[in-house]
Amino acid sequence: MTQSNQKVLVAMSGGVDSSVTAALLKNQGYDVIGVHMNLRDTNLANFGSRCCSPIDANDARRVCDKINAPFYIINTEEVFRAKVIDYFIHEYLQSRTPNPCVECNNKIKFNYLFQKAEELGCDLVATGHYAQVVQDTVSNSSRLFKAVDPQKDQSYFLFGLSQKALQKTLMPLGGIPKKMVRKLAEEFGLAVATKADSQEICFIEDEGYKAFLETQVAPSLRPRGSVQTKDGTYIGEHDGLYRYTIGQRKGLQLTVKESEQYFVIGFDTKRHVLIVGSEKDLYQSALTAEKINWIRPPKGIQAFSCKAKFYRKKRSYRAYLEYI
């Protein structure tokens, strides 16, 4: 089957990236179908500049009209609330820093996209993510690589994809720098060519995640407590453990001099204690990882060497593991 008669379902957020993805594939001869996922209740949310608004849906529809492609909207409000928003709230209340975009990809987007693709008789699914899917003909498996633009790489958000999904997934922007994507949008005559990128969590408005949590969770479930050093010395009070993350320095309400720099190094959730220490206390020689997904499974269960990279973007630490 050649690409000229392959039918591909393109996830369309209404932004420039997914719009260019659809236009590129259409230009390459694919039979494109656009799908927009309605993740939130438009009657309750104050969308502002965030994504997933009625404006975004209309932008996606206009792009499909421009490239002469069918367009559908999938309503996923209830499952998005249950699988992503409730997860986000639960993790913060457990003193963990969640990544809702990863959960959304794993539990919502690709799950529903492949269901819709099957219903519509599509051979492939495409997204505007900045990552590269490479088909390894030797091992007959798919591999996930970083994007060529290191500033836009989104491969981390996709670690949960399965072999079955990757073998039917296209991510054409993984090999294109962001600046070129903007130029392509102009060349294709897309109205979204100059539309600003959405870089924040879609359901968190300008007030921030703390304000969001406080509207969702009763005060009794987010108690205040003391701030202590690792040896138990009292040095201040906190307004709720959910307001802090490992490595945080700013925003600590301490009774000590400002010249003494403290970082969040842990939590005592039973006693509602925020534990702080020096920068050196942040460094560890080991970690425990969970929810691991081996896109290319190792041969047997055994010890192996790997490389690890830790990224701190906004509030969360992120890790990549690679075989050596």
Residues linked to residue 263 through DSSP beta bridges, in sequence order:
277
50: Cβ contacts below 8 Å, ≥ 6 apart: 198, 200, 202, 203, 204, 205
Which residue in 51, 64, 104, 122 is the catalytic one? 104
Give the DSSP letter string of 28-39.
Answer: TT-EEEEEEEE-
Q: Is the dihedral of CA 45, 46, 52, 55 positive or negative?
A: positive
Q: Is-contact 51 42, C-beta < 8 A?
A: no
Q: Is-contact 203 85, C-beta < 8 A?
A: yes
Q: Give buried/exposed letters for 289-302 (b at 16+ CB in 10 A, else e).
A: eeeeeebeeeeeee
CA–CA separation, 104 vs 169, rounded Å? 17
Which residue in 51, 52, 122, 202 is the catalytic one? 202
> Quick check: is 51 catalytic?
no
Nearest one of 35, 37, 32, 34 to 51, comparing CA atoms: 37
Torsion on CA atoms 291, 210, 230, 309, rounded to nearest 10: 40
Point out the residues that are catalytic: 104, 202
